[in-house]
Amino acid sequence: MYQLPIEPNAIFPFLLAVSLIELTPGPNMGYLAALSAAQGRVAGFRAVFGITLGLAFYMLLAVVGVAEIIATAPLAYGILRWAGVVYLFYLAWEAWRGARETSPGHAKDVDHAPFWRGLIANVLNPKALVFYVALLPGFIASDHAPFWLQALILGSLHLAISFGIHCLIVVGASQAGDIIAKSQHAVTVRQALAIGIALIAVWVAWETR
């Protein structure tokens, strides 16, 4: 009898777990909301591709076992953690500086910076590392396919869910941004989103200590 490479009973709990994780406010959600509201849908989608590639980086590290080595090395993990926190503060500062732009959604249509910022933010995201080291192995069955194959399948499912949720955030935030842009409080709202990213940086530092 043919056996699936992953445990069928683990699929739904895994999908539910990663959906809840992705729907929980965090660095990616805060950055995408602020970026899409200020610069529009095109910039937001570019950031989504960068974020997805960054997550895929850690998925592949988990597949080959490198992610666990990094997570259990205090110095390497500490460097990654603080680099990620500092980079989030940098993104917050960039969002604050750009809050007064009158038409940010059109000024940066050919700017690929959102892609690279999304990528770097996730390569330096310790929570992404912890996800693939701490959560993913719990859904892998020892009596099914090899670890690397199960990790690749489950990781790909996570990437698909993450991509879909992030795209919805971009669409919603960009629509809200269009409304905000016509408001006399546009600058204040964008500055508040920038402060939100900074607060998320503080939260990440606390949660990953």
The total domain count for the chain is 1
Give the burial class of 201: count Cβ atoms within 10 A of its Cβ; 0-12 exposed, 13-18 middle, 19 or more buried: buried
In a domain, 37, yes or no: yes
148 falls within a domain? yes
Between 171 and 104, residue with greater pLDDT = 171
Residue 57 within any structural domain of the chain? yes
Domain carrying residue 27? 8-100+108-207
**How does pLDDT run across 107-150, given as a tens digit for each residue?**
444 578 899 999 998 888 877 887 887 778 788 887 888 888 88
pTM for the whole thing?
Answer: 0.80
- According to the model, what pLDDT value does residue 69 have? 74
pLDDT digits (tens, 9 = 90+) for 140-169: 887 888 888 888 899 999 999 999 999 999
- Tracing tokens 């095109």 back to the chain, one arrives at 42
The answer to whether 43 touches 183, Cβ cutoff 8 Å, is no
pLDDT at position 109 is 46
From the list 180, 182, 205, the residue with the least C-alpha distance to 190 is 180
3-state secondary structure of 141: coil
Nearest alpha-carbon partner for 171 in 49, 52, 37: 37
Q: Which of 158, 112, 193, 119 is nearest to 19 (CA)?
A: 158
